[in-house]
Amino acid sequence: MSFSHKFHTSSLREYDIRGIVGETLHEADAFAIGRVFGSIVAEAGGRKIAVGRDGRLSSPSLEAALIKGLMASGAEVISIGQGPTPMLYYAAFTEPTDGAVMVTGSHNPSNYNGFKMMLGKKPFFGQDILNLGKRAAAGEVVAAAEGSVTQKDVSAAYIARIMQDWDGEKKLNVVWDNGNGAAGDVLAELVKKLPGRHKVLNGKIDGTFPAHHPDPTVPKNLEQLIDAVRKEGADVGVAFDGDADRIGLVDNEGNILFGDQFLILMARDVLREHPGGTIIADVKASQVLFDEVAKAGGKPLMWKTGHSLIKSKMAELGSPLAGEMSGHIFYNDKWYGFDDALYAAVRVLGVIARSHESVAQFRASLPHVVNTPELRFDCAEDRKFEVVKEVAARLKASGETVSDTDGVRVNTEDGWWLLRASNTQAVLVARAESTSEAGLSRLKSELAGQLAASGLAPDFSGANAGH
């Protein structure tokens, strides 16, 4: 029987395959991913592929179709069942696997779903995903073979391995918001093993996300956690996204810590064991982070946004720690270098439980800056990268100090501003940061002027935030 399959044009993304279930993503796509990815693993001399799924309503049927496709390519599938994405990554690193596929819609709305992949121990992304699409269309697969599937529960081993690195010295009062995401069952077991008092909100895995959307980078989604932290008099609040590869933190006074702020807390701790180590953060991070890493004796490195890109750079440089504004935190110190919100939570709780200051005191001790949240402007898919190139060319011609690691990040006496094209949506992403409101206004004016020169009219209303 011949095989050929075309994916919806919007579903093949930079870091994963993703779409709206029943509209741009179907069970036939899941089968095709299994059939082609299984073939790629087979051609590399492998057979064993770990598979997991999140708690979305569409995940069981998509997982079943995926496994059928993998088995049709002769794969020996190890199914770890429902759980967080990092638990699948853990299985890929600790079980004898040649690849891994996670069925997850991550932090997207409930009608979305998708697939994250690993080939060997490395992320499968970018050109790999585009090639998978081309191979599916051309029907380039290994001859049909009969594979197998076995169930394996790795959750107890995963929890035990996380707990191995718990190093707190005092008991904490912690509120957790699982957001009805895929970490629910694992989190329930993990908090039983952690000392102190633990209250879990929205612990039940529910793919309809009845409490709020599971994205801890959006302040509105943290309101329930903030209220609970204040009511319980907790030391800290911890939130996860839908598949628990991203973390959000709230201090003991109910203030949100942003990704670049809690990365400072983690970096200072890691640099005690790894003096001079390279700490990587994405281009959206505050200058405060890079300055504080340098003060703590580390080498700060600004890198491209995207969990697969950062994982690859960490492996290349042997970096002990990396993070993104989006809350992806990567520990290569004692851990495996993948983004894991559960592991990051236990490590940061350890730091807090050894500190003489509260999380709010830590936050207040950081240099105060004013900045915008992440600003997003609609821009056609075929235009977004061109706009960034045009802006970069004008800035360089005028002698501005520009970093083009990922988009353009411009440093001026007032601070910095960033413009980059999203790898996953038809939008441009911008941020600006200064030490004063007046400086921030000037930076936003410069950014607006550059966008206008490329034919865009941005709206900056409500675009200030203390940080």
Closest C-alpha to 46, from 58, 38, 34, 56: 38
Cα–Cα distance between 272 and 270 in angstroms, integer?
5
> Cβ distance 369 to 460 under 8 Å?
no
Kindly provide the residue ranges of all beta strands, DSSP E only, lying in 307-385, ordered along the sequence: 321-323, 329-331, 370-371, 375-378
- Indicate which residue of 11, 39, 106, 286 is catalytic: 106
Coil/strand/helix, residue 443: helix
Pairing of strands 112-119, 99-103: antiparallel
Cα–Cα distance between 283 and 432 in angstroms, integer?
11
> Residue 360 is encoded by which pair of tokens?
């709010």
Q: 57 — phi, psi (to 5°)?
A: -60, -30
Terminal Cα-to-Cα distance of the chain (whole angstroms): 59
Burial class of residue 421 in the structure, from the number of CB atoms within 10 Å of its CB (0-12 exposed, 13-18 middle, 19+ buried): buried
Q: Active site includes 308? A: no
Cα–Cα distance between 390 and 443 in angstroms, integer?
18
Closest C-alpha to 283, from 314, 244, 322, 256: 322
Closest C-alpha to 338, from 99, 88, 163: 88
Cα–Cα distance between 331 and 367 in angstroms, integer?
25
> Cβ distance 446 to 417 under 8 Å?
yes
Kindly list the distances between the CA atom of residue 450 and the CA atoms of 370, 383, 389, 433, 442, in Å, as whole numbers in the listed order.
Answer: 21, 15, 11, 17, 13
Kindly list the distances between the CA atom of residue 226 and the CA atoms of 195, 251, 325, 351, in Å, as whole numbers in the listed order.
Answer: 22, 9, 19, 21
Residue 351: how many other CB atoms lie within 10 Å: 18
Maximum CA pair distance of the chain? 67
Cα–Cα distance between 4 and 163 in angstroms, integer?
46
Pairing of strands 256-257, 236-240: unpaired
| Catalytically active residues, by annotation | 106
